[in-house]
Amino acid sequence: MNQIIPVKSKKELAAFIDFPHDLYKNDPNYVPELFIAQKDLLTTHPFHKHSSLQPFLIYTDGKVTGRIAAILNNNHNKFNHANDGFFGFFDCINDAATAKQLFDTAAKWLREKGVETMIGPVNFSTNEACGLLVKGFDSPPMVMMTYNAAYYADLMEQAGLAKKMDLIAYKFGADGYDDRSAKLLDALQARLKRNNIVIRKINMKDFKNEAKKLREVYNAAWDANLGFVPMNNDEFDYLAKDLKLILDPDFCLVAEQEGKVVGFGLAVPDLNQVLIKVKRGRLLPTGIFKILLGKKKISAIRIMALGVVDGYRKMGIEACLYGTIIKDYRRKGLTSAEASWTLENNEMINRAIEAINGDPYKTYRIYEKNI
């Protein structure tokens, strides 16, 4: 018999965070999230200053069999003039009735807040982890990307959720940058130079000011994206603080015209290659050493953000940013890169990636349901 409860106590929160570790204990592609990072996300992230969420756990005969969080993002609704709610942090055994009870509970909580549409999986907003993996189950996820069992899509569809949009992840191999790509990059750089546009590395010695410029570009360049909500100062600082710990300036590029930042591309080392070895996401007693020792062996990067402000698009800046990052990861001896994610209908960006041999190897889906 199922019993569903709202998460309130520290013990219940720990059970909420730990459930995926038990569910995926025999899955070689599962990467455990760090417990401390998930706890901070669910309790102290700047999101909680302006919005709210309620995590739920479901028990079957006294054992946790699923989890979900109902999420009300007030900033999303204000910016998009919408009345949406989200569900996130969804994990469940392969049982349609159990999953439906979780979705129904999240929908009820949102409906009581006046919400008309439930969208997900989205952890707070599309600025955070989002999307259900529906293609590409044969390899672990890259850093800050989601992972789930293949049966999740059936659970969602059986619960009445329908596709809203697909998100695409592209992969580049060791041979992803060929002579054709090199010639294309040279031509693009020459074109940009004629327009006084240069591509430079981020200045780590002036990181605070650089981060401010990137936030302004991010909020301007992504404003038409699916479900976009601008990141406020606290939210961007929260993300930037974590990224600074793993950032390689060779992979954080800025497009600039006469001192004005008009675009940027950001790639980070795939820390998941190390985290996959950290048992149950615990840093102690040995997890911290695995991270410190494993960082030097990381062989891949994830291009996690790349955008250009309106008025500077269709000039080749996007392809030039991608191409420069791809060229440099090969130069540094890395073996692969992922560009993720892009909207399936973002033809301009998708063409730019495919022009330099990006392979669409994973697909993530956003679902929705009128409630």
Task: Quote the longest CA-to-CA distance of the chain.
Answer: 69
CA atoms within 13 A on the CB side of 304: 25
Asked whether the bond before 222 is cis by omega within 30 degrees of 0, the reply is no
d(CA 25, CA 29): 10
**Is residue 256 a contact partner of residue 200, using CB atoms and an 8 Å limit?**
yes
Global pTM value: 0.93
Angstrom CA distances, 355 to 135, 144, 177, 184, 322, stand at 22, 25, 10, 9, 10
In angstroms and rounded to an integer, the radius of gyration of the C-alpha atoms of the chain is: 21
CATH of 171-370, one of 3.30.930.10, 3.40.640.10, 3.40.630.30, 3.30.1330.120: 3.40.630.30
- The CATH code that applies to domain 2-165 is 3.40.630.30
Question: Do the domains at 2-165 and 171-370 have one common CATH topology?
Answer: yes
d(CA 344, CA 239): 25
Return the beta strands (E) in 194-270 as ranges. 197-201, 252-257, 260-269
Write out pLDDT tens, residues 137-178.
999 999 999 999 999 999 999 999 999 999 999 999 876 566
> What pLDDT shows up at residue 333?
86
Return the beta strands (E) in 104-196 as ranges. 117-120, 132-135, 162-172
Write out pLDDT tens, residues 252-308.
999 999 999 999 999 999 999 999 988 777 764 544 545 555 577 899 999 999 999
Q: Looking at the DSSP assignment, which residues form a beta bridge with residue 359?
A: 171
- Domains in the chain: boundaries: 2-165, 171-370
Secondary structure (3-state) at 56? strand
Write out pLDDT tens, residues 49-70.
999 999 999 999 999 999 999 9
DSSP secondary structure code for residue 115 in this structure: -
Write out pLDDT tens, residues 11-42.
999 999 999 999 999 999 999 999 999 999 99
Higher pLDDT, 130 or 329: 130
> What pLDDT shows up at residue 289?
45
> What pLDDT shows up at residue 280?
79
